Structure 1
Amino acid sequence: MSTSSQPPLKITHILETCIYCTSLSASKDFYSNTLGLTPDFSTDRMCVYPLGSTTLLLFQLGKTGEDIIMNNTDDKPERERLVVPRHGPTEDLIPGLLERKEGGGLRQHFCLAVKDKDEAMEWEKYFNEKDVKVIGRMEWQRGGYSVYFEDPDGHCGEIASRGIWGHY
């Protein structure tokens, strides 16, 4: 066991972002056909979209509440067992999240990157043509531009150009 008070290595970036969906098939249709993303693989539990060095995961709400135990036997010590731990809203919260009241629900936020302001503005125009609900836009001090939209579950998506953060 390390006695160092410093993290062992530098973390380089977020590898995965996940979104919980009330209808995985409707969300897959939106992310694949409206946003033009190509899934790496898909099951009834999840859909995986590679995006550069990151990954967007769509999970069916209610299907991530149990650990996924992989290839384990009782004779293995606990530290050697392979487990993907449960995550997402607990079962008692799910009924409330399924009720789509105006402004209610989980409303997770995520941001997808584009090269420049012109590309972000093209997405805004495209969303309007496709009847995707545009819920906001922002011009940032560093020159970046964002357009915010709703996905089928009411999550707050953002398409943003360079210039919203010091590092992007």
Structure 2
Amino acid sequence: MNEPQACELRLLETALYLDNVGLEARFYQDLFGFRLLSGSTEREATFVALEVPGQAALLFFKKGANAQPVDTGRGMIPPHGGEGSLHLAFAIPTDSYQSWKTKLIARNIKVESEVHWPRGGRSLYFRDPEGNLVELATPGLWAFQSPQAPPE
């Protein structure tokens, strides 16, 4: 048996813990077009899974709903949760940066900050309805991405 390698890994899912799961799910569906995989977008929803197309699942849990283990009938999911303003980032192509910025402004979503990174990447930051920090980042932010010429 071969030892598992880090290069085999990819991020499968990430989670946010929210007061209003349905509102957040609708925000991400409307802005990004993420498809509903599981759960409900109703106000009373306690869980939603959205597909980040072909890459991962974005999970929304009602705050406190996972303080105890969950029996799936096929095994136990350990307790988990998060507090405060969390952060997540989505990769975008360099040539769509301005289009995303324009889309956010057109939807009255305040762009909180923009950063030009030393490797040539750019990021724009905004908040979702519950105050989580969302980042849209072009290639060149991290060393594992294709480097680009620094901006002039």
The two structures have a TM-score, normalised by structure 2, of 0.82
- Read off the aligned partner of 1:158 and give its amino acid letter: E
- The Cα shift of 1:71 comes to 2.5
> Once superposed, what is the RMSD of the aligned Cα atoms?
1.6
Letter in 1 for 2:48: C
1:113 aligns with 2:115: no
Q: Which of 62, 79, 83 is the aligned partner of 2:76?
A: 83
Report the Cα distance in structure 2 between the residues aligned to 1:33 and 1:50, rounded to whole angstroms.
Answer: 13
**Alignment correspondent of 1:58:** 60
Same amino acid, percent of matched pairs? 26
Using the size of structure 1 for normalisation, the TM-score is 0.74
Please give the residue correspondences for 1:2-81 in structure 2 after superposition, counting only pairs within 5 Å. Answer: 8-11=3-6, 12-43=9-40, 44-51=45-52, 52-71=54-73
> Hey, what's the Cα distance between the residues in 2 that align with 1:10 and 1:60?
34
Encode CA deviations 1:39-65: one digit per residue, 9 max, x unaligned. 212242211122232221111112111
Which ranges of structure 2 fall in alignment gaps of 5 or more residues? 146-152
1:107 is displaced (CA, Å) by 0.8
Runs of at least 4 residues of structure 1 off by over 6 A? Answer: none
Other structure's SS at 1:34 match? helix
CA contact (8 A) 2:25 2:50 kept: no
Which consecutive residues of structure 1, in runs of 5 or more, have no partner in the other structure? 1-7, 73-81, 90-96, 98-105
Matches within 5 A, 1:147-158: 147-158=124-135
